[in-house]
Amino acid sequence: MRPFDYVSVTDIPAAVQTIATTPNAKFLGGGTNLVDLIREDIERPETVVDITRLPLAGVTALDNGGVRIGALVRNSALAAHPLIRTKYPVLAQAILAGASGQLRNMATVGGNLLQRTRCSYFYDTASRCNKREPGSGCDAIGGFSRGHAVLGVSPSCIAAHPSDMAVALTMLDAEVEVESVRGTRRIPIGEFHRLPGETPHLETVLEPDELITAVEIPETTKNSRYRKIRDRASYAFALVSVAAAMETRDGTITEIRLALGGVGTKPWRATEAERILAGAQAGDAEFRRAAEAELAAAVATEQNEFKVELAIRAIVAMLREVNN
């Protein structure tokens, strides 16, 4: 492990000023991803700016019916919060489907959104990886790719986005609030993560000197759920996951929201399936038609082509569940 400087900040102006004026610095949230990456010599910050003392650990109801979540709320606290459990059960379920109790006790909302891929070649510095070393190649393509993405892939990178929480937030149309020395800006979560294209090392639209301060979720139907399919019942990343919310009137779908995890290079909003389902009769035939249309764009490898049918079936099962 390379040596680095450690700085702790207690207010937001100091945090954004420090990151803007310190070369090669990184914020430290719960540290559950960053510290591993430093140990593996993948991230090499010269300074780590500890932000865990910033006053960003609140969950508050908004006047417009939505909720504001501070970037430093720990994953366990968020999943247990009464506002989240009652109004956004999909978010509580998605968080509890991720990692382990100890990791969730440490992990923060901001850090979860920025966690890096679990592609094993990314972690193996002896392998070629365009995300770790731009232009070096991608050993996952033609290599071990069972867990990799089938949607949004490029010839440069097929790594799946690992976060469960981000899938639920994507389905809920959350907005990410960020702060820097230039001021505050808000980013719709659908625009926050980038597709890999030819630059897989650029994973989000966040600038290196921007601090995530909060995530806001608008009011929406409470009829929402998350289902995660994985190799083990806990402590495993998704092969496929589905976040869904639906309302019907006399069998007609009046509100539909759908997002996928484990299959996309970013948290995947299933816009094609939503388009087909909006105003349709709720039922297995329409659910399957919509799911197949969403997965029609899939580009799979021999090892992960099973994910296409698995995702279709997971979508149908999830929609059946929210339809009851």
Tell me which residues touch ligand FAD (CB under 6 A): 26-34, 51, 71, 98-99, 103, 106-108, 110-112, 114-115, 162-165, 211-212, 237
Compute CA distances 173 → 124, 169, 215, 226, 301, whole Å: 35, 6, 10, 15, 30
Whether 293 and 276 have beta carbons less than 8 Å apart is answered as yes
Closest distance between ligand FAD and the C-beta of residue 36, in Å?
6
Which residues, 193 to 252, sit near ligand SF4 by CB under 6 A? 200
Pick the closer one to ligand FAD by CB: 137 or 235: 235
Choose the contact partner of 159 out of ligand FAD, ligand SF4, none; CB within 5 to 8 A by kind.
ligand SF4
Q: Considering the rule CB under 6 A, would residue 304 count as an interface residue with ligand SF4?
A: no
76 vs 145, which CB is nearer to ligand SF4? Answer: 145
Does residue 150 bind ligand SF4 (CB under 6 A)?
Answer: no
* Closest-CA residue to 51 (of 35, 30, 70, 28): 28
CA distance 244 to 145: 27
Q: Enter the DSSP assignment of 168.
A: H
The answer to whether 108 touches 70, Cβ cutoff 8 Å, is no
- Output 145 or 241, the one with its CB closest to ligand FAD: 241
Closer residue to ligand FAD, CB minimum distance, 29 or 196: 29
Residue 248: its H or E element: strand 240-249
Is residue 276 within 8 Å of residue 262, measured between CB atoms? Answer: no
CB of 143 to ligand SF4, least distance (A): 8
Residue 27's binding partner among ligand SF4, ligand FAD, none (Cβ under 5 to 8 angstroms by kind) is: ligand FAD
Query: Side chain identity at 186, as an amino acid letter?
Result: R
Per partner kind, with CB cut-offs from 5 to 8 A, the member of ligand SF4, ligand FAD, none near residue 180 is: none
DSSP secondary structure code for residue 231 in this structure:
S
Using CA atoms, how far apart are residues 103 and 261, in angstroms rounded to an integer? 19
The gap from C-alpha 66 to its chain's centroid, in whole angstroms, comes to: 20
Using rule CB under 6 A, residue 122 touches ligand SF4: yes
Instruction: Report the nearest approach of ligand SF4 to the CB of residue 228 (Å).
Output: 21
Question: Nearest-CB residue to ligand FAD?
Answer: 111
Token reading at 321: 């569940």
Q: Which residues bind ligand SF4 (CB under 6 A)?
A: 117, 119, 121-122, 129-131, 138-140, 157-159, 200
